[in-house]
Structure 1
């Protein structure tokens, strides 16, 4: 192997961790960092994931931060860059998927690239360019109520075209299903028509195999984490990996455990309710908060006595109507910033109080927690299913984390994740 086979640019920490976990599960030696300055210091690695909190920041800031990471990965010799975003294509008409992709095309010199958000195993599929969550169009799912990136148009060709001056086209399912020379020919024909961005129909896992074979030599590819799992077999078949598969088991971490939740996704609300059956949960109502400091003080006063008896949960998550009320009071960005400030301050206080096991729900929330804890790199364990990826800091007093996407994971994830941190060999 020469250099790094894959450099991943993730637009949030939960997705970045999931991507790294999938590569680790496939036997790839994968490093995970949150700061581009750590890329060079990450040591030999077949893949490197740089996860930054760029999904919903201003497009210009997302572009500049991602470009810095991309150039660091290219300097390490990454033969391909992969821009990772959410399976629900979280973005607005201003970005950030389109603007970041435009920059990466320029930096890599890629002539074309693909967009593959699908995760068929999770019933996130694209057909005729339209994004489905199960049997529902994304525009008819709860995702239409997302407080930051509501998805109200299911046609990803239209969604992406509003974000970029590049010509966007579709590789529909019949040509994806044909694969091989037919698929390569379709790309060449459409590229000759000026199309540079391809939305990729994907409804089966076998479609991902065909897409991986098509794109494994492209300078740039984009999508959800799921497609990344399909690259290692292609790399091995093409002799790009000289080392045998790498097996990684995380060290056990004991100490107090806490769940911190900022996601308002329906799945997270269900997980909180399940966790509360056996553990105390404090729900912070942002519409009644006087200040972040007062909310943090009250939460700590509630939690500290209870931590001696086991894990606790603290949440700023809420149903859509409560989120709307908080946004009416503070503004959309103000409400999100307040929630992240509260959870970030709590994480710092809990770590000082001896908490060493954290489950954090929500991509933006996870970014705030990791940033406030000053974590710049993590050892990521193998993927165990949606939302079950785990990691440990690499220092003398390690902290274990499970950074969970708001929309993913089994209902009983919180308690299971905290328990698995104490015995990773038995993790689900």
Structure 2
């Protein structure tokens, strides 16, 4: 029976956290969407992660979905909970992190929680409550102009305070660096008895300290980094090997990239120099969506025949100038158009034999997983901090096809736009050979 339950505000965040939990010895299952009824216990997981698409949802919907997920996790037997959001704290002053945090605390009858987006392995650190992306402050990094969640302030206390009814306090670096006992002593002071505690963390040891000091908290919140300090009952390495897929050597793969992040643009450039590739034509999609998607699918099928072993790359953004400003063109916004197109491509390509899909971008990943009817993910081979392969049963046929219950096993790597090595699009496949 699971004892740890997590709620992730997007699909790549769910697999990011699940990757970390597997490495820490938790047999982990990712459930897509609010599980109704509660997820079955036949897989005997130690941790359940519910993948929502709530980061950019209307606040009321994000809160309702998160509470429904929490109640399902409680019913499944979970006793401790983790609210997972992005390590870049993607939100706005009117964002969803604070309202969801408040609702979860109220539901659990808890007075306080810790706020720990830091993930040093991916370059995210917090010092004096300011969030850094590698060597840059968040508001000076490429996240400043993110098309969906632009981040114009790096000060987490300032960012979170307008979002929550609770008092937001800083847990300074000097206290964290002094060790778990020092943090616990500070937390025992009356002023820290309630509220949201934004913790500085610049190293993995800081994360281990914070995890140890807050082990009694019913709810913790943060990026996946905080789980570095968790300890599960099983061997993470053995679990990863046991979960790794064993596909046929001639399996068909495809890269679907909807992210506009700097990290993904570098991966696109690297992949395009080595793989068959095609950039999405937004004008063509607006003119005749079905015809352009059909052309993309035809290109991928032709690539499988002409260049076997080299997964085709379908991408939306290769350079920063490719990002279409909001409202620049009439009709469907660019981000929504890209998600819909890549999700449709995924569904049609799985029907045509694709069994390996590497998807870049949180919103794109959510759209693809939803289009494929995926209900759960079993984590597999890690590809780096925050990125892993997973095995899932996809349902690419709808009722209109007369085969709604025909499942297809696929390998999925769902990558946050900001994560992964520059050669990820070409190197990831070696883990499945």
- Using the size of structure 2 for normalisation, the TM-score is 0.90
Matching of residues 301-340 of structure 1 within 5 Å:
301-308=298-305, 309-310=307-308, 311-325=311-325, 327-330=327-330, 334-340=333-339
Unaligned runs of 5+ in 1: 236-240, 424-428
Q: Which residue of 2 aligns with 1:251?
A: 245
1:238 matched residue in structure 2: none
Q: Which whole-Å CA distance do the structure 1 matches of 2:109 and 2:382 have between them?
A: 32
Contact preservation (8 Å) 2:16, 2:386: yes
- Alignment-derived partner of residue 403 in structure 2: none
Matches within 5 A, 1:104-253: 104-189=104-189, 191=191, 195-232=194-231, 241=233, 247=239, 248-253=242-247
The separation in 2 between residues aligned to 1:8 and 1:258, in whole angstroms, is 29
Distance (whole Å) between structure 2 residues aligned to residue 387 and residue 120 of structure 1: 11
Cα offset, 1:86, TM superposition: 0.6
Taking the aligned partners of 1:393 and 1:199, their CA distance within structure 2 comes to 36
In the other structure, the counterpart of 1:411 is: 422
Indicate whether 1:299 and 2:296 are aligned: yes
CA contact (8 A) 1:18 1:383 kept: no
State the Cα distance separating 1:305 from its structure 2 match. Answer: 1.3
Q: Report the equivalent of 1:11.
A: 9
Please give the alpha-carbon distance, in whole angstroms, between the structure 1 residues aligned to 2:145 and 2:82: 28
Whether the 8 Å contact between 1:388 and 1:417 is mirrored in structure 2 is no
The 3 A distance-change label for structure 1 pair 153 and 291 is farther
Aligned residue in 1 for 2:409 = 398
Over 3 Å counting, the alpha-carbon distance change for 1:257 and 1:150 in structure 2 is same
**Where has structure 1 moved over 4 Å in runs of 4 or more?**
243-246
Tell me how far apart the structure 2 counterparts of residues 98 and 29 of structure 1 sit (CA, whole Å): 29
- 1:343 positional shift: 0.6
SS in 2 for 1:390: strand
Residue 271 (str. 1) matches residue 267 (str. 2)? yes
Q: CA deviation at 1:89?
A: 0.2
Instruction: Name the stretch that deviates more: 45-54 or 353-362.
Output: 45-54
How far the C-alpha of 1:178 sits from its partner, in A, is 1.5
In the TM superposition, what is the alpha-carbon distance from 1:394 to its structure 2 partner?
Answer: 4.8
Partner of 1:346: 345
Looking at structure 2, the residues matched to 173 and 16 of structure 1 have their Cα atoms a distance apart, in angstroms, of 28
Asked if 2 retains the 8 angstrom alpha-carbon contact of 1:24 and 1:382, the reply is no
- Of 124-133 and 245-254, deviating more is 245-254
Instruction: Write the mapping of 1:71-82 to structure 2, written as runs, cut at 5 A.
Output: 71-82=71-82
Structure 2: gaps spanning 5 or more residues? 395-406
Look up the match of 1:362. Answer: 361
What root-mean-square deviation, in Å, do the aligned CA atoms of Structure 1 and Structure 2 show? 2.0
Q: Is the 8 A contact 1:14 1:363 kept in 2?
A: yes
Report SS of the residue matched to 1:389: strand
Q: SS where residue 398 of structure 1 aligns?
A: strand
Aligned to 2:23: 25
Tell me how many residue pairs correspond in the alignment.
410
Q: Is contact 1:22-1:383 (8 Å) kept?
A: no
- 1:318 CA drift (Å): 4.7
- Relative distance call for 1:244 and 1:293 in structure 2 (3 A) is closer
- After TM superposition, the score normalised by the length of structure 1 is 0.91
Aligned equivalent of 2:276: 280
Q: 1:39 to 1:189 in 2, by over 3 A?
A: same
Cα distance, 1:38 vs structure 2: 6.2
CA contact (8 A) 2:245 2:380 kept: no
Q: Could you give the per-residue CA deviations for residues 172-225 of structure 1, whole angstroms, max 9, x where no partner exists?
A: 101111233321232232545x75001110011111111010112210000001
Aligned partners of 2:114, 2:387: CA distance in 1, in Å? Answer: 27
